[in-house]
Structure 1
Amino acid sequence: MNIKDLNINNDIVNLFDYTLNDDAKISLKKLLATPLSSKEAIIERQNILKGFLVNLKVFHNYSYSKIDFREVNYFLETFDKDTYLPKGIKLKLRLYKSKHYEYQSKCVQLIMLYHRLHNYIKNLPTAAFPKKYKSEIICIDEYFSSFRPDYYQGLIRENKFKIKHILEIISIIASKKKKLKIQEFHTIFPLFEAYLSAAIGIYTQHFSFPNIGDKGIELDNFYHPLLKAPVRNSLVTESNVILLTGPNMSGKSTLLKAIGICTYLANIGFAIPANKGSIPFYSNIDVFINLNDDLQSGYSHFMTEIINLKKVVIEARTSKKCFAIFDELFRGTNIDDALEITRTTLKGMLNFTDSLFFVSSHLHQLITMDEIQSDKISCYYLDCDLQDDTPTFTYQLKQGSSDIKIGRILFEKEKMNEYLSM
């Protein structure tokens, strides 16, 4: 997939990032960056997140010391039985106060952290979660329970935490280390927190889960989630090829990014910035918006466009369901060439009926194509009002095309004819 122009890892991740430690943040980024393999996997992910959403009250004021979490994890990761349980360790703890304090502080820190975390987990109803993920929650609960945090926390509070209790905890750690239970926990718990973080983001942003349909996209009041005051639009695709026209500054790129974000988030099982929607599973998603010359590979802007288009078409020809956005396709060549090959491209895309293509263009002449006149290719534009020759952009998506020439209007409004005349 080519989704770098959606800025998922740099911008979109922040909408869902309520993580409290680096491990959870890494897991969240993996969730957002890793495509799912099927419609069933998407629905499974949706149901996991819905399970957290139903139970968000359980995690009210969910927090803990980041320093404690990091130090406990380091202690467990570097734990070695021969170091912490050598022969005669009980006597050494009695004789050497520094050693006693070291062991005691590590165990107390672990128990206090696990006691706090376990209070959230043990009160979490699992009925709302899918069966497979329910077992992971039970695994986390059993992991914390095995340390008996309530019992040892009570001893610590009553100042009855003795050497024998320290050695009991050290022995529990040694056993879990041997059985690889600590490594297992450090895999599933960051993912647990990543899901929780994503659910908090979905709730905070008022996103909705789309239906995972079979063909075509339906979006009701969708928007770009990073805008402070976004304009909402609705869309129902009636063709597998959509041409978007309109002048510069009309918002075409932003609209296409919003559609791309909705489609990608839906395909990784996340909720989307829309009131509701229906989006199919796509095996390949490619978004080409901020296209530049590929200097590293030696490609010109136009050749980069050709290479990107070729990759998408090859994927579509192998019976894969592809979703692709091409913003200002073939803007890297002259207008005559661009017009001819854009027509050929749009016609050719009609052959791949299981895929969906969005193409934006300044080439107003494209609307005369028979395929557009007969509605085989859907044509949309972003509205613009003119008041006293001053363009006002509404950013509203409408069917059809617009023949407003903003470039000429702005050129004349700035009196460029006068400045350029002798």
Structure 2
Amino acid sequence: MSFLIDKQTVDELNLMGKFRQGSVSHLFNRVKTRGAEQLLDGMFRHLLVDAKAINRRSSIFSFFQSARLVFPFDVQQVTLMREYQDTATPGNGLLVLGDTLVKKMLSSLTRDERYKKMVQGLQATIITLQKCNTFVQSVPAADHAYADRIHAVQQILAKKELMRLRETDIYQSLPVKKLSYYNHLLKTVLNKEMQELLNFIYEVDLYIAVSDVARTKGFSYARALAPEGNLLSAKGLAHPCIDKAIGNDLELSVQDNVMFLTGANMAGKSTLMKAIGINCYLAHMGFPVAATEMIFSVREGMYSSINVADNIGLGYSHFYAEVVRVKQAAVAAASGKRLLLMFDELFKGTNVKDAYDGTLAVTREFAGYQECLFIVSTHIIEVAAALNEEDNVQFVYMPTVMEGLVPRYTYKLEKGITEDRQGMMIINNEGILELLNAAD
């Protein structure tokens, strides 16, 4: 089973794009090797949907963070080792010897670089194996989530052939026969083991990079529960990509699975919604989250409607695009899957009366799917009063504090329904009417 999420949700939460400033992927892309970069991309694209697997990965990150391990490998040497392993070689030992002799002869007669690269690749492999052995010996021996992986690597490095290879002096010229022997050994006999060692190096790179981000940012690790609990609880939850973001406490459960969020424009509703979605996504990766504490029941997918735009190609107006998006969410909710669904300012592309009626009707219907968790925001506060009869709807708001005629936004979530109506005041503060009158 895979975690369901569509392109619009990925784009709205700015999850992907490891080279794009401000994206969640970019935040964690501090790896050094190409292999670790590919591993990071795979984790972002394929989320975990098993609580045990999520908690195990979180435990590994937590171990690396507490151990403060430093990446010990030379990236250039790892790259040369990777290229050396990927270079094709005959499967038979005698054929490897003949191939090596031919390459050495060609290197003497022509400008053929293959023999030189072969020697450099083996030298890089020896150096990397030495550093790998030193690293695994330095890892704390106490019981931890990564202990089995460390032990497996130690067993590979303990093979007598690799022990002899690690002791080889790379500054002395190797006889052709010995060079061909190691070519055959590493690329054929122990090819699987060498691939495992390279994968281990990439894992270490990733775990160190991500745990360093967690330590620098003050992130923590969420605890995953079985899906049936239908719980999402967090303390100090904030947007991970915003420096010094203000954290908020929240809880969604079976009894209160619908969060109805009100507040004035610019009060922080959209940012809070994105923060919830992003941290829920990271939690399903087993990654650190921007919260002091987070507990969640595993979801089967996530669906958002935050920045819906018109679609000229399909002839959709803004409002119709919103309707289509809500329909897609309704189909997903009706499928019986346990989802997190988020809607920001429903039906803002139409008049206030229709927006009121639509928001009220849709929220009431969604509230009936108690195996899902919903967050609905609006600045049409009259909808909240009409939803009071729904037992599983909780009301929260982002307040606005007036300092004279100037609004200040606290970005701190509070229980209840806002009474803030500062739209006309902001228009007056900006002097728009005076400018228009002067133009007349």
Could you tell me the percent identity over the aligned residues? 22
Matches within 5 A, 1:14-413: 14-56=26-68, 59-60=69-70, 62-81=71-90, 85-87=96-98, 89=100, 101-125=116-140, 128-130=143-145, 134-146=147-159, 151-156=164-169, 159=172, 161-176=174-189, 180-183=192-195, 189-213=201-225, 214-237=229-252, 239-369=256-386, 371-372=387-388, 376-413=392-429
* Structure 1 pair 147–357 and aligned structure 2 pair: CA distance change class (3 A): farther
- The letter for the 1-side match of 2:406 is T
* Structure 1 pair 412–151 and aligned structure 2 pair: CA distance change class (3 A): same
Choose 68-77 or 119-128, whichever is displaced more: 119-128
Alpha-carbon distance in structure 2 between the residues aligned to 1:191 and 1:295? 44
Counterpart of 1:8 (choices 9, 15, 22) is 15
**How far off its partner does 1:331 sit?**
1.1
Alignment TM-score, normalising by the size of structure 2? 0.84
Per-residue CA deviations over 1:51-76 (Å, capped at 9, x if unaligned) read 433433xx33x243323222221121
Choose 329-338 or 92-101, whichever is displaced more: 92-101
Choose 400-409 or 161-170, whichever is displaced more: 161-170
**How far off its partner does 1:245 sit?**
1.1
Q: Is the 8 A contact 1:207 1:274 kept in 2?
A: yes
Choose 310-319 or 263-272, whichever is displaced more: 310-319
Alpha-carbon distance in structure 2 between the residues aligned to 1:234 and 1:88? 66
Unaligned runs of 5+ in 1: none
Count of residues in Structure 1 that have an aligned counterpart in Structure 2? 415
Alpha-carbon distance in structure 1 between the residues aligned to 2:297 and 2:365? 22
Choose 378-387 or 180-189, whichever is displaced more: 180-189
| Secondary structure of the structure 1 residue equivalent to 2:16 | helix
Q: Is the 8 A contact 1:242 1:357 kept in 2?
A: yes
Alpha-carbon distance in structure 2 between the residues aligned to 1:63 and 1:343? 58
Alignment TM-score, normalising by the size of structure 1? 0.87
Q: Is the 8 A contact 1:382 1:397 kept in 2?
A: yes
- The letter for the 2-side match of 1:328 is E
**How far off its partner does 1:351 sit?**
0.7
Q: Is the 8 A contact 1:115 1:149 kept in 2?
A: no
* Structure 1 pair 171–290 and aligned structure 2 pair: CA distance change class (3 A): same
Alpha-carbon distance in structure 2 between the residues aligned to 1:100 and 1:33? 39
| Secondary structure of the structure 2 residue equivalent to 1:87 | helix
| Secondary structure of the structure 1 residue equivalent to 2:47 | coil
Alpha-carbon distance in structure 2 between the residues aligned to 1:305 and 1:92? 65
Alpha-carbon distance in structure 2 between the residues aligned to 1:114 and 1:14? 30
Choose 79-88 or 229-238, whichever is displaced more: 79-88
| Secondary structure of the structure 1 residue equivalent to 2:412 | strand
Per-residue CA deviations over 1:281-327 (Å, capped at 9, x if unaligned) read 11111122222223444433223322322232222223211101111
Q: Is the 8 A contact 2:85 2:187 kept in 1?
A: no
**How far off its partner does 1:81 sit?**
2.2
Unaligned runs of 5+ in 2: 18-22
Choose 152-161 or 399-408, whichever is displaced more: 152-161
Query: What is the alpha-carbon root mean square deviation over aligned residues?
Result: 3.0
